[in-house]
Amino acid sequence: MSEVPTQSFLALNYSGMLFNKGNTKAPFSTLIGNRMKQVQNVAFPTGQEYTTVGGTQPNITETDSLTAPLASTLARSQVENVTQIFHEKVYVSYAKLANMATMSGLNFAGQQPNPVSELDFQVSAKMDKIAQDIEYTFIRGAYNKATTDAQANRSRGMMTAIVSNYIDLGGAALRVWDIADLLKIIQEANGDISDLALWVDAVSAFQLHADAEANGLTVVPAARDINGIKLSRILTPLGEVSLYIGQYLAAGTVGLFNPSVISRVEQPTPGKGNFFMEELSRTGAGVSYQIFGQIGLDHGPEWYHGKIINIATAFTKPQSGRKVYITDAVPTAEVLPLLSSVVLSGNVQVNDETDALVVTYTGTPQAGPTLAYQWQVAATALGTYSNISGATSATVTPLVANVNKFLRCAVTASVYAAGTVYSNPIQIIAAT
């Protein structure tokens, strides 16, 4: 891309107050502003990690205790991030520096152009751009550690760093209960759930406010101040969470951050500092400066943070009046009809299929229940019955071996009815 120096007809002068339509706020960078580290290497550690195994009850006898247990080793690993370069240039022609009194557009006598100095304006605008680039990187920067000078180091941002603690809502609206669930996940991962800050976009903030109001909760505005950043507060069953409508979040995502373990990491240039401006050599009728700095993010242990993904990206305004805001249907108790009687009728004769059973219910099933059958025989009508192997159909054909014994059927209803009932017994007679 060719260089475009700032000249008179590329940067016209106008009168009136100066307003910027672009974003210049960097709340996340400000939030962690008091925690700053300096390094002399591109790569820096964000922590070392190890896992302990516990939470069981030992089973050690006195005899066992006479011998020392076998040793085991806890291995550690180191997690790192990198600083990356932020580099901008300002190039203003001599003619533009001298041509600041000529104004375009609507003007009135005696008015002065704003800004007065083109160089100062261009430098300030470039610094605002760098601040936004850093903010974006800290929120969702993708990680890369260069292996050659031709590759760029790229610092890992918060949303990229979080891999352990997350909830996928599958397109549902964000609720206060979802935040409580994420707190629980962080706590179970051995993270600290005190003083967390929830970074949300406007739609997710609307969803949380609507859910809180519908369930009798309150989002307290400007309840907390960190480095001049006013954070709202919302109460969950697991404690308070601060809330801020931030920027640069991917659509349908929110981040739950622990500011106490997050730091910006600067890599100053010896003798110059970090994010310094220096004049470049002049080759023509213009002045040029470069702004250079290196910075990265120490996000701390990633399991100290959490994120929620696939949140609904559209908000529907709630109707007036307070209602409980839920996404699942309210379950209703279902009372199933009960199997009340099973009647076996007709002659029960060897080698002759029995008549159909007459089944009745207490209540009316919504549809035909599923019935399971087990035919049984006993020596007497009130004796001990045993199952006939394989006799699990609605009817049965008695065998010669069971002549003069008593036959009955156990019927069990399911799906649209419930209960198990035994039919009346009938004595099996010989074939005629």
Q: What is the pLDDT of residue 225?
A: 79
Q: What is the pLDDT of residue 322?
A: 53
Q: What is the pLDDT of residue 317?
A: 78
Q: What is the pLDDT of residue 326?
A: 52
Residue position matching structure tokens 């049984």: 376
Element housing 411 (H / E)? strand 406-414
Burial track 8-40 (b if 16+ CB lie within 10 A, e otherwise): beebebeeeeeeeeeeeebbbbebbeebeeebe
Q: List the domains of the chain with CATH numbers.
A: 158-266+299-309 (3.30.1930), 338-427 (2.60.40.2700)
Q: What is the pLDDT of residue 198?
A: 93
Report cis status (omega within 30 of 0) of the bond before 115.
Answer: yes
Model pLDDT for residues 138-154, shown as the tens digit of each residue: 999 999 999 999 999 99
Mean per-residue pLDDT of the chain: 89
Q: What is the pLDDT of residue 222?
A: 75
Burial track 386-425 (b if 16+ CB lie within 10 A, e otherwise): eebeebeeeebebeeebeebbbbbbbbbeebbbbebebeb
Environment class of 224 (CB within 10 Å of its CB; exposed 0-12, middle 13-18, buried 19+): middle
Residue 98 per-residue DSSP state: H
Q: What is the pLDDT of residue 112?
A: 73
Q: Which residues of the chain have pLDDT under 70?
A: 113, 319-334
Residue 304's CB is within 10 A of a number of other CB atoms, namely: 24
Q: What is the pLDDT of residue 394?
A: 95
Could you write out the DSSP letters of every residue in 229-269? EEEEEEEETTEEEEEEE-SSPPTT-EEEE-GGG-EEEE-PB
Pairing between β-strand 419-422 and β-strand 166-168 as defined by DSSP bridges:
unpaired
- CA dist., res. 209 & res. 218, Å (int): 8
